[in-house]
């Protein structure tokens, strides 16, 4: 089980939600090619322009490689995104 997780908080311009989902989906193979687990994208039910993504990683070095490649792609989403904030998380409770 991974011990490093990432969380992205995405605020999308109204009316561009489907464009964002399509663009985010195109990023999945990049993460997988670097060793991520299966990512998850969640949409806030009460605020439909707010999305949260989560992904597991084998180590922080892999996260850093992913983010280095992700940077230019995020800039390409400028017309779609209002804001984006990235977090790196360590497991505090391993679960079952």
- Asked if the structure places residue 15 within a domain, the reply is yes
What is the C-alpha separation between 68 and 4, in angstroms, rounded? 17
- Asked if the structure places residue 47 within a domain, the reply is yes
Start-to-end CA span in the chain (Å): 11
- Asked if the structure places residue 71 within a domain, the reply is yes
- Asked if the structure places residue 96 within a domain, the reply is no
Which residue range(s) make up the domain with 15?
A: 4-90
pLDDT digits (tens, 9 = 90+) for 67-86: 998 888 888 888 999 999 99
The domain tally of the chain equals 1
- Structure tokens given for 20: 């964002």
CA 56 to chain centroid, in Å, comes to 10
* CATH code of residue 14: 3.30.70.100
- Asked if the structure places residue 27 within a domain, the reply is yes
pLDDT digits (tens, 9 = 90+) for 4-58: 999 999 999 999 999 999 999 999 999 999 888 899 999 999 999 999 999 999 9
Provide the β-strand partners of residue 10.
51, 84
- Asked if the structure places residue 95 within a domain, the reply is no
């Amino acid at each position: 089980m991974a011990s490093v997780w990432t969380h992205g908080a995405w605020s999308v311009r109204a009316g561009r939600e489907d464009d964002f989902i399509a663009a985010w989906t195109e990023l999945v193979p990049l993460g997988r090619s670097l060793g991520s687990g299966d990512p998850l994208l969640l949409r806030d039910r009460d605020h439909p322009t707010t999305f949260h993504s989560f992904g597991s990683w084998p180590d922080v070095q892999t996260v850093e490689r992913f983010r280095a490649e992700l940077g230019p792609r995020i800039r390409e989403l400028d017309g779609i995104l209002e804001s984006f904030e990235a977090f790196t998380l360590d497991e505090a409770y391993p679960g079952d």
